[in-house]
Amino acid sequence: MKGTKQGARDSGWNAVLAAHGEERERSIARLVESMSLDEKVREMAGTTNLLKQAMMLFRYNKYHFLAGGDKGLGIPPLKFTDGPRGVAFGNSTCYPVSMARGASWDRRLEERIGEAIGVEARAQGCDFFGGVCINLPRHPGWGRAQETFGEDPCLLGEMGAALVRGAQRHVMACAKHYACNSIEESRFYVDVRVDERTLREVYLPHFKRCVDEGVAAIMSAYNKVNGRYCAHNRHLLRDILKGDWGFDGLVMSDFVWGTRSTVDAALGGLDIEMPMRRYFGRRLKKAVSSGKVPETVVDEAVTRILRTKARFAAAGSPAAYTRDRVVCKDHIALAFESARKSIVLLKNEKGTLPLRRDGLRKLAVIGKLAERENIGDYGSSQVRPPYIVTPLQGIRAAAGSVEITYDSGEDISLAAQAAREADAVVLVVGFTGRDEGESIPYIKLGGDREDLSLRETDIALIEAVAGASEKCAVVLQAGSAVLTAGWRDKVPAILMAWYGGMEGGNGLAAIIFGDENPSGKLPVTFPESNAQLPFFDKKARSIEYDYYHGYRLFDKKGMVPAFPFGFGLHYTEYAYTNLRLSAQEIGAGGTTTVEADITNRGGMAGCEIVQLYVGCPASGVDRPVKELRGFARVHTEPGETKKVSFEVKAQDLAYYDVDAAGWKVEEGEYTVYVGSSSRGADLHLSGIFTVSGS
């Protein structure tokens, strides 16, 4: 036996890398068997030295966060960097925040961004990207809503999977924060109470989508779910993630306060404690020695860690990861494309936009945020690009012969005068990373927005400027929904620009001057008032997450939002015609194909985001009126018609039957809707099909 163990140690990591499939699993098992308890436990925690960690209190991700690794056995450490706006390490390309990218509804674009992030991570010595944030914002005021892709599980899952696909051509990706993490200021202690059906149908499908895509790692959340911290939550980690879903990657904790107990975390299914050894060091060895944690639990965790490292050891082409790939021309162009595609045109009356350069003498740009480098959260998602294009800079660069004047808006009377003297006005208002984002303990930065209203000073500025100019476009900067009631009717045009990344100003200018047809659609519902939203207490110690939120809640209660989920205007008009279903009746394992024709009836080429919703109006259980089940970006030239096609699988329409502890496809009639948003007249086409028991 001793000779066998020594042989496994001698061949060690190289034998693992040389093997494939079942033989690799056997090689990993032999290596784990040969390792001492000290060696195994070392793999299960962060290993960045304390001095570097202390320095990162002042600049997060100044260094890589290391985990595990053993020089004697040849096992490399994990080299972690955060996201999701780009690589948090170094001076990397900064893309728009994820909520903005969610507004593009562009899977392929997100995949390309993932690839670029992976390349820049590897070029700077990282191999583990922690930027696939797919938490569902139950309330749009959640401070870190900007880090996720929207309010709907389908959209979240598809965009998250695209980011995973792209990044994992080069690095390991980590999806976070599992699960039910959507209150920022009480995230370290809040207990989220949620029933099993709501958990499975609302708060977990997007994580499963990323698991199905092959994501390398899952990060557990800080909060509790039904009384147990997520890093200790056996039901989440062992029963669902590793059991029901068959996830074979690694589970890591969120940083510092993500783990609270050695025994509970180990038995619950946590594999790596980050970023240091508090509970998975000497305490874990003692727990194994005393019999509180079986050594087989440690073996399982180490097996998962080594399996994941081995899977990505040969990813990409190392020779291609040179420093000149960081913020290269291609990645800058990608950031510009993403900024353009993310902007949502919410209102456009009297042909206010686009502004035509040949008919414009003077344009006034107003608002403090117009000249501010405003790219979002200052927390763990912060990216430090080498430059940031502000709205004012972008507009000036794109204006041609148009005279641009600027006023900060601090003196409202002066701002109104500047508006009167100009032919048109672009007014930039909203929020910054100081107002919303990751809540940093002991520092008054970020946090949640319980009230989605603009500041009173911003509203007063809007009213004064709009009163002085008939051609006024308001540009909103924020990470999530903003209330527009009270001032919306006073302005002819509104653009939602989010936090647009390093090329945000250029992207905005391209939309304003009509160089690009706006195509963004809201990934989150914009309510008419705070009263339309679920109860939210940013200091809550316990809170119930029920079945309804977002557009599903608005449908359920018959409420009318200011702007619905999926909404966005263009500089052209689209017609929806000729809905077809390939089958009017399908079995529980069947599929029907839904097709429709989309025609560009305007004079400008552009992209329409076609959305498919499905409802079960006669359901025997409480279900949403309709749910997003598919979407597609369709590019058309003026006058062109294109066919769009969606597959609807009966299995995807199942609900979670708590009594049977499984998914059930309900027999009966289903309604399909194809449209340009989730609401009313925008649901242009509808049809019916039946799911039978056979």
Q: Please, which pLDDT band fits residue 176 given cuts at 50, 70 and 90?
A: very high
125-134 pLDDT, tens digit per residue, is 999 999 999 9
Domain with CATH 2.60.40.10 in the chain: 574-691
123-173 pLDDT, tens digit per residue, is 999 999 999 999 999 999 999 999 999 999 999 999 999 999 999 999 999
Pair 565, 551: CB distance under 8 Å = yes
Largest CA distance in the chain: 89
Average pLDDT, rounded, for the chain: 96
Residue, of 442 and 503, whose pLDDT is higher:
503
pLDDT of 63 strictly over 90: no
Q: Please, which pLDDT band fits residue 11 given cuts at 50, 70 and 90?
A: confident
The CATH H-level superfamily of 2-323 is Glycoside hydrolase, family 3, N-terminal domain (3.20.20.300)
pLDDT of 62 strictly over 90: no
Q: Where are the beta strands (DSSP E) in 210-313?
A: 217-220, 224-225, 228-229, 250-252
Q: Which residues are catalytic?
A: 254
Residues 172-181 as b or e (16 or more Cβ within 10 Å = b): bbbbbbbbbb
The stretch 32-49 carries a mean pLDDT of 95
For residue 391, say if its preceding peptide bond is cis, omega within 30 degrees of 0.
no
Domain with CATH 3.40.50.1700 in the chain: 341-557
Q: Is the dihedral of CA 658, 662, 665, 667 positive or negative?
A: negative
638-662 pLDDT, tens digit per residue, is 999 999 999 999 999 999 999 999 9
pLDDT of 442 strictly over 80: no
- Other residues' Cβ atoms within 10 Å of the Cβ of residue 455: 12
Phi, psi of 528 (to 5 degrees): -80, -30
How large a percentage of the chain has pLDDT more than 70?
98
Element (H, E) at 629: strand 627-636
Domain with CATH 3.20.20.300 in the chain: 2-323
pLDDT given for residue 1 in this prediction? 47
pLDDT of 6 strictly over 70: no
The stretch 230-257 carries a mean pLDDT of 98
Residues making up the chain, counted from first to last: 694
562-619 pLDDT, tens digit per residue, is 999 999 999 999 999 999 999 999 999 999 999 999 999 999 999 999 999 999 999 9
pLDDT of 212 strictly over 50: yes
pLDDT of 101 strictly over 90: yes
464-485 pLDDT, tens digit per residue, is 999 999 999 999 999 999 999 9
Q: Please, which pLDDT band fits residue 50 given cuts at 50, 70 and 90?
A: confident
Q: Which CATH class is domain 574-691?
A: mainly beta
Q: Which CATH class is domain 341-557?
A: alpha beta
